[in-house]
Amino acid sequence: MKHDPVSNFWTVETFGQEYTSDSVTSLYKEVLPYVQQFLCADHPFREGKVCPFVHAALKKRRIFFTAIAEDATMQDCTRLITECVEFYISSRKDNDDFGAIIILFPKQFDIEKLLELQFNNKEYCVQHALMLGALYPTSQAPSLHNENWYPLRTPTPVLVIRDIVPNDLVFLDSHRYNLRKRLVFLETFIDIFHNKKGKFTQKMVREGNELCMIYRKKQCLFNFIKLVTFILIFLFIAFFLL
């Protein structure tokens, strides 16, 4: 069955060229080898595949694609991300099945805007047990296993919404985000995985709890400093007024 031209989400099996413009078809065909071949190939610096989950997700038809219109505004892009999250959650049949939605952007899309979209919408995605990643041709994000290898370089800019996995703890503790957001990320991560089995998963949950404790103490300290500062300013003003 071909994909629905109204919802405009498709898998490898349901892609219908008659429902997409030539430009979207071109973007899709450029990105497809990255998904089917590169991500499913052996990792050059550790055991296993580049992405251990993609091969099974492709077989189960859990990798979806959609595209941003060439004249889309930032508001349009944000709206599509929300629609993607809603669609993906509604498509789930088994909570343990890994999957993803790949949002294709025009080749010349501003990378700064792509990163802004990722930054502004990551919290919404994490709160729904999903990660949001930005991939593009000049990405300088290195592999966790080799700082000179850049596996997040795609032929055209994309945003990827995917199921969160235990390995994602490192990406939820980014200092790009303030303490409040990091706490939201970590608390959501712990809530998702605290009842899951597996030594590695439970190790990540423990590390997440430890980070939460550190950040809560920092948050309390910052709040105390703010309170003291406010009181001192108030007393200073009151002194001169009196």
Give the model confidence (pLDDT) of 77-95 as tens digits. Answer: 999 999 999 999 999 876 6
Place of tokens 């997440």: 208
Nearest to 13 by CA among 27, 2, 28: 2
Question: 181 CB contacts (<8 Å, ≥6 apart)?
Answer: 123
Q: For residues 38-47, give the mean pLDDT.
A: 94
pTM of the model: 0.88
DSSP-derived pairing of the beta strands 158-163 and 130-135: antiparallel
Nearest to 160 by CA among 48, 66, 61, 76: 66
Secondary structure letter of residue 100 according to DSSP: E
Q: For residues 201-226, give the mean pLDDT.
A: 91
